[in-house]
Chain A
């Protein structure tokens, strides 16, 4: 049988997944965010029970889980604490932001939250035995726990202020812009997120980020793309800010937003040098099976010109019905 644990992948998530495994006879953990990963993990069939741990289930996986009526656990945690945990385990800050921001999108999903058992790492006054009992009841597990209770790691509900203070101003802004909107989420106001250029990659220089001027000289090609972060299912307005220098204003660019398939695109024809803002509306729904990827491409070969990506701002659109 399959049991799902969804949410932010910090120490508290680890405690929960290990607890569920301990409560089940012959169980294993399978980390999967999409159906293909689930199949890959199940074809070898070496356990009776499988605990599927997912940070950001794809659109179809999410839809199948909600339709099935499977009970599942939702792990809520402070995103900064999870970032501190992930970076302490070796991930770079950029990759950690991508993972945590995607997880935030998942735990802010109202259908996921309303259909799952939400366990919060900040509920420090609830002892592990009580947490375990809640899990047993919700997942309808065998009532007699097997073996010793999994002790909570010291890092659960820990203070991450030291990690935060170690970040420089730019890094704090990067983190705050990408996840801050989730932390102050107010149902009365649309969600607003900002993705800075450091979260994007330069296509001509794999591994280097787009937080610099990019020389567009060369053939028609993709210039930069990213950040590959999941967004909550909603209608969105994107505002992309570019800085164009020199001959780059003579060229046409293509802005594409995709999540496994193309969601929206628009041609960009600059009018003058300097700062430029482009807006584009798009929709994220169950067909979005991958994190959101935003790409800017040069449409024709260029002999000269520079372009810089500044920010991408996303604001949830509340469409009047």
Chain B
């Protein structure tokens, strides 16, 4: 038998994969093996080459072929859902400093994992559930994969995982992450954390740390950017290359501009590789220091490549400066006011609430 375990790479998904391995070993006295990769063909070839009876595959990023196979066959599989913010916190405490990249990678996995909750053969295990009653979680997993297991045997498996050094939950929370990165992590992942426990997916915020300035892609747009500092087709700012679940979305992009920029025109657009340009919005920089541009777009199932939001200026050598705070994305069933009261346009940089915005 081939068994798949899916989840965001981290302590909890590793613990779950090891748990599945131990449970399957109880079901067959012959040797069971475990690999970590993500292709349908690879599973069969591994099983044949390793000459074992069962194969447990821990998959970091299942491809379309694997998902199609799970839908088509209704095969039982394990979905390990930890709070994605905890995954980032663990990543940080292990000494990895590129929290931005980790946030982007984790956010890219979340839509797919959310969809997997709906597949016919899924067994969802959450870290909270395991913490509440680990023996019950083990027995539930065994039943799902058709393995007869007693509570005593479940306890023995848990003890073995402890001795091997695998932990289901590290105890690291978002407060472990440096303050400067917490807003980014919280904004990109908090809604998924709730959705993984069954809540409706809510608002997602992509802070400027996830974007790049066209004239200096090595960093993020920290301060004012001159409207003449464009690159590659009058582009000023672009990013964050993060996937969203299929559906209809409203993106609100929070921008500030200097008085010299009044009268200029900028464009916002959203783009993804499989669908091309998703939405385009033209904004005239009129009186005031800031505005919120809106983009309305839809993503079809199967066409959920990473999203790019771009801020572009309409002409070369335009005067003035622009600041970018963040983008907030709502599934379109939600409505939200977007009033913002600001005095100076750089104050946009300090904008903290998604419900704040400049009146136009």
Contacts and interface: CB of A to CB of B under 8 A. Distances in A.
Given A40-B69, A42-B2, A43-B75, A35 B53 contact: no
Given A35-B44, A37-B44, A42-B2, 7 more contacts: A35-B40, A38-B47, A42-B47, A45-B1, A45-B54, A45-B75, A61-B48
Contacts of B236: none
A261 B179 CA distance: 51
A36 interface: yes
Interface string B59-73: 000000100011011
Given A39-B2, A43-B75, A60-B41, A68 B48 contact: yes
Nearest to A45: B1
B248 interface: no
Interface in A24-44: 34-40, 42-44
A60 B2 contact: no
A1 B43 contact: no
B317 interface: no
Interface of B: 1-4, 28, 30, 40-45, 47-51, 53-54, 65, 69-70, 72-77, 145-146
Interface string A42-79: 11110010000000000011001101111000000000
Contacts of A134: none
A2 interface: yes
Given A36-B40, A36-B41, A43 B1 contact: yes
Interface of A: 1-2, 34-40, 42-45, 48, 60-61, 64-65, 67-70
A38 B44 contact: yes
Contacts of A69: 51
A65 B197 CA distance: 43
A68 B74 CA distance: 29
Contacts of B47: 2, 38, 42
A38 B73 CA distance: 13
A42 to B, nearest CB: 5
A44 B144 CA distance: 11
Given A1-B30, A36-B65, A48-B28, A42 B53 contact: no
B73 A43 contact: yes
A68 B50 CA distance: 7
A36 B44 contact: yes
B3 A45 contact: yes
Contact of B53 (A1, A38, A43, A67): A1
B154 to A, nearest CB: 20
A258 B138 CA distance: 48
A195 to B, nearest CB: 28
Nearest to A1: B53
B146 A38 contact: no
Q: Top 10 A-B pairs ranked by shortest CB distance?
A: A45-B1, A43-B75, A38-B44, A35-B44, A35-B41, A64-B48, A39-B44, A42-B2, A64-B45, A39-B43
A36 B48 CA distance: 12
A38 B3 CA distance: 13
B69 A43 contact: yes
B216 to A, nearest CB: 41
Contact of B48 (A2, A37, A44): A2
Contact of A60 (B1, B45, B70, B77): B45
Nearest to B53: A1
B2 A70 contact: no
B123 to A, nearest CB: 14
B48 A42 contact: no
Contacts of B145: 45
A42 B30 contact: no
20 contacts: A2-B48, A35-B41, A35-B44, A36-B41, A36-B65, A39-B41, A39-B44, A40-B73, A43-B73, A43-B75, A43-B77, A44-B76, A45-B54, A45-B75, A48-B28, A61-B45, A61-B48, A68-B48, A69-B51, A70-B48
B152 to A, nearest CB: 24
A38 B69 contact: no
Contacts of A34: 41
B65 A44 contact: no
Contacts of B73: 40, 43-44
Give the interface centre of A35, A43, A69 by most chain B CB atoms within 10 Å: A43
Nearest to A2: B48
A21 B172 CA distance: 52
A45 B47 CA distance: 13
